[in-house]
Structure formats: C-alpha cells, structure tokens
C-alpha cells in the first residue's frame, strides 16, 4: 500500500486486472497524483493450460481496494481494465461455469484455423472483423469449448471478457466497450456491432453477450456491497482491455509508437484508419475513445529471455556484444509470427560463443520480432524518427533498452509513470466527471514524461541475420506439435 498528500480534486479509481494480479490506483482527477494503491495476486494454472478462476479476480479486487484505505471510499468514479480475449462463462446466477480460458491458453489453434477457412479466409476476416483470429481470440476459445466441453457450453447463460465480469459484479448489468469487444473475433469493426454470421458459426446466441457501451458513457453505479470499500452510487465507466487502457494512460496521439515489454510483447499505435491486415500480423483493435489501435503481439518476450538467462545461470543483464549466434526464443509457440507449435531455435553456435553473447541473442530475437511487427502496425506516412515509447516490466532493464535502441535505430523514451493500464482506467473514470477525452486527461497529467535515449546507428547486420534464419526455419518450426528446433 502507498499513500500521498491530500488531493486537489475528486478522486477516481483505476483498476488493472491482469493475468497475474489485480492492481488498484486511487488518483486525484485534477492532477493525476496517485493518492493510494494496492495489489493482490491471482492463481493461473500451470503447464500448457492457462486458466484462472474469475472469483479470484473479484477477491483480488477487494483486497487491492482495501489496501487503498479510506481513499477508495471517497472515489467518485471507477473504471476496470483487464486482460484481453479471456473467455468467462457464467451460469444463470452469474457464477462461473468453469475457470476462464485466458488469452495465452493455446488449445484453440485448430479451431482458429478452421474458422478462418470456413468463413471466407484471412482477407475476408480482416475486412469484416479487422483481425484474422488467432488462438488468443475469444471466438476460437468458445469454439473449443463447444467442441470439447459441450456440457459447459450448454450451461452458459452469459459470456463475458475478464473486465466485463468485474464491471458486471460492480453494477449488476452486462456491458463491455468497443476496445475489448474488438478482441473477441465476433465484433465486426466494419459495422461496430456483433456479427450474427460468426456467432451462428460457433453456436453462440448474441443475447448471451454484453451490451457495447459508448466511449464516455456511465454504465452504472456501484451496488452496495460489504466486499468492496466503495460508496454506494460511485459512477462506473465502461472499462476496456489492457492495451487500450495503456494507450489512454499514455495519452497517445495518432502515430506515436509504443513497444511494451512484458510476459508477452506488444507494439501498437493509435490510428484514425480502421486496420484490415490480411496477413494476420496486425490485430485491428478499436481503442477506447472511438479511434483504432492496430496492435501486434508476440507471446515470447521478457519471460522467454529470463528463462534463457536462468538456463545459462546468468543475471538477466549479463549480456556480451559480438558473436554471430542467432536465437529465436519461441519457447511457448508464437503468435507473431503465427507459429503456435514452434519451440526455440538456436543457430550458429560455435566453440568460442560466450554465454553472455547467447543471452544477448535471446534479447535480439525477441526485439527483432517486435520491430518487424511495428513496421506493419504504423501507417505508411508515420514519422519514423519519432521516439518509441518503451513501457512494461522490461522497459526498466538496461539490456532491453539498449537492444531496442540498437535494432530500431530510433530514439527511445521511457515514461516514468508506473501502472499505465490502471492509470489509463483512472483517466477514463476521470473523464466521466469532467466530460474530457480520457487521453486528454492523461496528457494533462503528463503521464508520458520520462528520459529520452538518443538514437544510435541501426544494427542492420544483426537484423538481416535474424531475418534470414527465421525465414529458413519457418517451415520446420510450423510443422506441428512434434516439430520445431530444440533450445
């Protein structure tokens, strides 16, 4: 728990319900000052399956808010941001039918392929939905559930995303927002509505889905509850998905590139143009304001590099320059590029390769994938000299910073503000009170302030070598569950 001096304006609460924990910030809506904070963990199943009990998210929310003390009770508005894509199935009493299938659960790869083929192919999906669904998307998880657990599907009276579930527990009504809905695969960006043909193809009744609230809408008020320290009548914002919330938290203007280094890696930028990438590299998400948030995601980022460091017995910062070894760190399959069955691949190992060079190769492989995706995310007329905003847990690491600088050739800014997802949710809640665009609220709070690392010469030799190895290895790595290089 942390606390700060007395607030100048009304207080708001921003919540980040992520894969591993729930974080809550109480923020002064006038200044952006964090008045209090709290955090409580979740349990995620181990092994290849990625499931979590939604009841834990609710309990964790309560604990995080209690750590905020009296400040939470004084809040005038609250917004919940959550991990995207997760499938939450509820029975007629609003209780989970089964644990939620999380975004990084990989069981629905076959369903994703069949859905794309069945409904017109990748180009048709991109034009209609804005994205070509991968195994992360909710629609593929529902298709898997109906095929493998039909009794659970029949028992489902409501389908929600993680942030929807918590918002519904707060208000008693089922709502979502366009940003999170755009990651389901059954919300069509072309019409900004649920797609009846897609729902029919997976056997899902639209009546089971939440209403999509408009940006800036008050979706309800907090119900009286002894479990949470809110005052009855606290306003509730629509909330959104974690990446859309982080975009709000940074106050992003169109074209500013973001590279987020977490368990997964993401690159995105706000755009005024609806994305339709038929290759599937770019997910054509909506943002939480009425614009768009083209985004690409890699499954293997900080966790994969940390695993390589552990295997080598090195501190994660113990990198060494030089050498010509290439490491593709696809330790959990990969989403970008779309290689769900891949494993890590090591190429060019020599007798004189130092362990620190091998660790640096893991950083290079992860950042190479992200920068390749960023080129696809940005509009053709984007200013490529604009600084990259580097966020996420890895952004504080010197090895990550220097690898991004060297391989991108761009200046890099590292925002000082922490917990950008929760801060973006708080900006959305503040917008309910002032009528402002939440991104403008965040810019007023100066959330993107931070040190600027000047550009260095781009390491084109390393980029070219990794690209060549990745292209040569693609057929092997995509050969199915038994294929892939060994790390």
Nearest CA-CA partner of 80 in 186, 160, 141: 160
What average pLDDT score do residues 355-373 get? 95
Per the CB < 8 A criterion, the answer to whether 442 and 431 are in contact is no
147 pLDDT exceeds 50? yes
Active-site annotation holds for 242: yes
Kindly give the interhelix angle for 355-377 and 302-312, rounded to the nearest 10 degrees: 170
49 pLDDT exceeds 80? yes
pLDDT band per the 50, 70, 90 thresholds, residue 193: very high
pLDDT band per the 50, 70, 90 thresholds, residue 483: very low
Output the pLDDT for position 244. Answer: 96
β-pairing verdict for 77-82 and 235-236? parallel
Structure tokens belonging to residue 344: 């890590």
2 pLDDT exceeds 50? no
User: What's the rounded Cα separation, in Å, for the pair 74 and 71?
Assistant: 5
pLDDT band per the 50, 70, 90 thresholds, residue 323: confident
Per the CB < 8 A criterion, the answer to whether 446 and 252 are in contact is no
Read off the pTM. 0.89
User: What's the rounded Cα separation, in Å, for the pair 158 and 199?
Assistant: 14
4 pLDDT exceeds 60? no
Of 4-13, 157-166, 328-337, the one with minimum mean pLDDT is 4-13
CA 92 to chain centre: 29
The Cβ of residue 118 has, within 10 Å, a number of other Cβ atoms equal to 12
Per the CB < 8 A criterion, the answer to whether 433 and 12 are in contact is yes
Kindly give the interhelix angle for 162-171 and 54-67, rounded to the nearest 10 degrees: 60
**DSSP notation for 358-388:** HHHHHHHHHHHHHHHHHHHHS-TT--TTSPE
453 pLDDT exceeds 50? yes
Nearest CA-CA partner of 370 in 333, 322, 326, 334: 334
User: What's the rounded Cα separation, in Å, for the pair 229 and 171?
Assistant: 14
With b meaning 16 or more CB within 10 Å and e meaning fewer, what string describes 415-436?
bebebbbbbbbbbbbbbbbeeb
112 pLDDT exceeds 80? yes
pLDDT band per the 50, 70, 90 thresholds, residue 478: low
What average pLDDT score do residues 195-215 get? 97
pLDDT band per the 50, 70, 90 thresholds, residue 376: confident
What average pLDDT score do residues 207-227 get? 92
The alpha carbons of the chain give a radius of gyration, in whole angstroms, of 22
User: What's the rounded Cα separation, in Å, for the pair 254 and 265?
Assistant: 20
Output the pLDDT for position 262. Answer: 87
CA 306 to chain centre: 20
User: What's the rounded Cα separation, in Å, for the pair 441 and 449?
Assistant: 14
pLDDT band per the 50, 70, 90 thresholds, residue 5: low
Contacts of 222 (CB under 8 A, 6+ apart): 78, 170, 171, 228, 230, 231, 232, 233, 234, 236
**DSSP notation for 437-460:** -HHHHHHHHTTT---EEPP----H
Among candidate residues 242, 277, 287, 364, the one labeled active-site is 242
Percentage of the chain with pLDDT > 90?
80
pLDDT band per the 50, 70, 90 thresholds, residue 151: very high
User: What's the rounded Cα separation, in Å, for the pair 67 and 39?
Assistant: 8
pLDDT band per the 50, 70, 90 thresholds, residue 252: very high
Residue 424 Rama label (left phi>0; alpha psi -120 to 50; beta): alpha
The label of the residue with tokens 């092994």 reads 47
241 pLDDT exceeds 50? yes
What average pLDDT score do residues 261-282 get? 91
Structure tokens belonging to residue 303: 């966790």
What average pLDDT score do residues 17-23 get? 93
35 pLDDT exceeds 50? yes
CA distances, 230 to each of 2, 60, 427 (Å):
18, 15, 18
In the three-class reduction of DSSP (H, G, I as helix; E, B as strand; rest coil), residue 187 is classed as strand
Output the pLDDT for position 486. Answer: 42
What average pLDDT score do residues 155-177 get? 97
Kindly give the interhelix angle for 109-118 and 138-148, rounded to the nearest 10 degrees: 110
Of 13-27, 39-53, 289-303, the one with minimum mean pLDDT is 39-53
Output the pLDDT for position 471. Answer: 87
pLDDT band per the 50, 70, 90 thresholds, residue 6: low
**pLDDT tens profile 400-440:** 999 999 999 999 999 999 899 999 999 999 999 999 999 99
In the three-class reduction of DSSP (H, G, I as helix; E, B as strand; rest coil), residue 103 is classed as coil
Decide: residue 309, CB within 10 A, 0-12 exposed, 13-18 middle, 19+ buried: buried
Per the CB < 8 A criterion, the answer to whether 309 and 315 are in contact is yes
85 pLDDT exceeds 80? yes
With b meaning 16 or more CB within 10 Å and e meaning fewer, what string describes 463-487?
bebbeebbeebeeebbeeeeebbeb
Helix (H) or strand (E) holding 35: strand 34-41
């Amino acid at each position: 728990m942390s606390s700060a001096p007395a607030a100048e304006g009304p207080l708001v609460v921003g919540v980040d319900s992520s894969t591993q924990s729930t974080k809550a910030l109480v923020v002064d809506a006038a200044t952006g000052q964090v008045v209090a904070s709290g955090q409580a963990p979740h349990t995620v199943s181990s092994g290849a399956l990625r499931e979590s009990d939604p009841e834990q998210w609710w309990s964790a929310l309560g604990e995080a808010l209690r750590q905020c003390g009296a400040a939470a009770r004084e809040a005038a508005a609250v917004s919940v941001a959550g991990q995207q894509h997760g499938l939450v199935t509820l029975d007629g009493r609003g209780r989970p039918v089964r644990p939620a299938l999380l975004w990084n659960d990989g069981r629905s790869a076959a369903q994703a392929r069949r859905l794309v083929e069945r409904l017109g192919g990748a180009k048709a999906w991109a034009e209609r939905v804005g994205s070509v669904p991968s195994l992360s998307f909710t629609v593929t998880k529902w298709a898997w559930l109906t095929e493998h657990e039909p009794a659970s599907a029949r028992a489902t009276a409501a389908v929600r995303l993680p942030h929807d579930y918590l918002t519904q527990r707060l208000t008693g009504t089922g709502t979502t927002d366009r940003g999170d809905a755009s990651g389901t695969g059954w919300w069509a960006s072309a019409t900004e509505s649920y797609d009846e043909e897609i729902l029919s193809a997976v056997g899902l009744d639209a009546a089971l889905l939440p209403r999509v609230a408009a940006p800036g809408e008050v979706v309800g008020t907090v119900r009286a509850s002894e479990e949470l320290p809110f005052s009855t009548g606290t306003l509730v914002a629509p909330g959104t998905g974690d990446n859309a919330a982080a975009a709000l938290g940074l106050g992003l203007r169109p074209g500013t590139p973001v590279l987020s280094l977490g368990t997964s890696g993401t690159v995105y930028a706000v755009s005024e143009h609806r994305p339709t990438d038929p290759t599937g590299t770019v997910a054509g998400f909506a943002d939480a304001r009425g614009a768009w948030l083209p985004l690409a995601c890699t499954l293997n980022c900080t966790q994969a590099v940390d695993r390589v460091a552990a295997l080598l017995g090195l501190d994660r910062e113990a990198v060494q320059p030089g050498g010509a070894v290439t490491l593709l760190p696809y330790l959990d399959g990969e989403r970008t590029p779309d290689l769900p069955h891949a494993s890590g691949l090591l190429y060019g190992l020599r007798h004189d390769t130092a362990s620190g060079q091998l660790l640096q190769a893991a950083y290079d492989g992860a950042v190479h994938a992200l920068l390749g995706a960023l080129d696809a995310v940005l509009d053709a007329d984007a200013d490529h000299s604009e600084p990259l905003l580097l966020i996420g847990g890895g952004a504080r690491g010197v090895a990550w910073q220097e690898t991004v600088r060297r391989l991108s050739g761009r200046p890099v800014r590292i925002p000082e503000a922490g917990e950008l997802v929760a801060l973006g949710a708080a900006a959305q809640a503040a917008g309910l009170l002032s009528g402002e665009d939440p991104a403008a609220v965040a810019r007023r709070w100066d959330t993107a302030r931070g040190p600027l690392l000047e550009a260095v010469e781009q390491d084109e030799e390393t980029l070219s070598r990794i690209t060549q190895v990745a292209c040569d290895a693609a057929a092997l790595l995509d050969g199915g569950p038994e294929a892939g290089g060994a790390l």
